[in-house]
Structure 1
């Protein structure tokens, strides 16, 4: 009787436990089913993407050549995807309207007039493009603008001229510039025979880079010197040269951040030994394989700026200068410190020193490059955004902290500029200049 009484007393607990048991089984079953469905959908989506890439007929010879030379399957997929994006017009982001003080939206396409022109004495003689299939006001203006020119001119249907001054200018009747239709726009005229129609690009004036104030060598100590972070980008095995270089630029109040190429194990181990002995030297374990001309050089530089936020000992740096293992100073470090301190707030960027249009052409800005398999592949022609002024020079730069942190921010312009420069050859030579 006692046993029966006990079972009768607790039978409802058994029912509740059983219900919970079956409920858990049901939930586990549903979760498993849901996971399977998600995986199935994910797989189907991947197949769709794969088919989408495969269904894009790649006809550009540059892209086809690049894909055929890719070694890894991952690289091939990357090249195929980007080639299809180029073909479909989704590769290039639309940039925001320029807020640069030298840009005036009201000056864009502002007409100057029709002028007599000849090959021996051009009205706009700084740079010339030929666009047999694509010439238009928009095409010509965009190319002249990005090279920093104030004026652009259309002539003979397919010719586009850029310049900052009107030379040999003789104004003629506007009808003389309405002889040839633009190849890319039948609603527009692209000049006449020996007659160039000139417009403003939207830039107020030609910009001349400001030069740093020269200071002769001196033994005087700098009052309140800036805090400099020396970034050493190392790729090689000559650790003795690196040690000599470090000794020549070392001061206890500055900071030394060392990045060693991911393929250089010996140099990395040698630098770790140095960092263990000196407090203001840091060797990063986040290492890139930095190939010549690759996007990884710029990505590494900007990753260093991000990582500096987590290094408390380096929190008050004001400038970042990058160097390689083959560099060596020709002036004492105190003179360098004094030069930077006397130009506080400015960034140090070496210009290419000649016509920007020629520089853009020489650097291959007109082409899209893609980095994979530790090399840069050229996969097609680039469609540049509007109102983007390009410049460049040396990839050895001195960047003020304000500019450095702005360049890695999530604001629209630097974010889109970073994306664009992933596909540009030698990006560190022009990103900060631009």
Structure 2
């Protein structure tokens, strides 16, 4: 779980909804708004003593949604996850604003049936609309806890999104 520290009660509510003794829960709490994140960190840290399948990352990073810091944090946490003596098949990235819409048993059954596969989903929009909405046609720079849009850019040739291959600015299918 990647938590920004805004709502401790919501994070605990989510954990209660998805908790299962057969699963593992690795949690990263941002470090930007120190007092909020520190309160959440201290509160959730106590879960480690109660549940052997819950672990908080001791390494904390300030992240911005869509920024390079978020990717950096995810890669660092996955590296940390690999050092644990846990036997797992999938990594599901959740934030405290995520809530399950179906029973967790259905997710477990689905993943068991599809062991060894990866799943990524866009917003169900057309590919050009998805590219525009996600800002893939712009350059960004992360600085001072802000994500700055620098200007337009052309997508590199050969990037596969969905069933199509896009490149050269997203002008059409290649």
Same fold (TM over 0.5): yes
Aligned to 2:144: 373
Distance 2:144 2:39 in 1: 23
**Alpha-carbon spacing, 1:390–1:336, altered in 2? closer, same or farther (3 Å):** closer
Distance 2:62 2:123 in 1: 26
Match of 2:20 among 251, 263, 267: 251
- Contact 1:260–1:287 (8 Å) recurs in 2: yes
- Contact 1:237–1:266 (8 Å) recurs in 2: no
Q: Kindly indicate whether residue 135 of structure 2 is the aligned counterpart of residue 364 of structure 1.
A: yes
Aligned to 2:125: 354
Distance 2:96 2:132 in 1: 30
SS at structure 1 position matched to 2:46: helix
Cα deviation for residue 270 of structure 1 reads 0.7
Cα deviation for residue 383 of structure 1 reads 4.1
Q: Whose helix proportion is higher, 1 or 2?
A: 1
Aligned to 1:125: none
Distance 1:381 1:297 in 2: 22
Distance 1:381 1:244 in 2: 41
Q: Which runs of 5+ in 2 are unaligned?
A: 163-174
Distance 2:7 2:157 in 1: 45
Distance 1:364 1:237 in 2: 25
SS at structure 2 position matched to 1:376: strand
Based on CA coordinates, which of the two structures has the bigger radius of gyration? 1
Cα deviation for residue 358 of structure 1 reads 2.5
Match of 1:299 among 33, 54, 72: 72
Aligned to 2:97: 326
Distance 1:255 1:304 in 2: 13
Q: TM-score, normalised by structure 1?
A: 0.34
Q: What is the RMSD of the two structures over their aligned residues, measured on CA atoms?
A: 1.9
Aligned length: 158
- Contact 2:122–2:130 (8 Å) recurs in 1: no
Give the number of the structure with larger relative contact order, counting CA–CA contacts within 8 Å between residues 6 or more apart: 2
Cα deviation for residue 388 of structure 1 reads 2.2
Aligned to 1:233: 2
Cα deviation for residue 336 of structure 1 reads 1.8
SS at structure 1 position matched to 2:91: strand
Distance 1:353 1:325 in 2: 23
Structure 1 runs of 4+ off > 3 angstroms?
none
- Contact 2:140–2:150 (8 Å) recurs in 1: yes
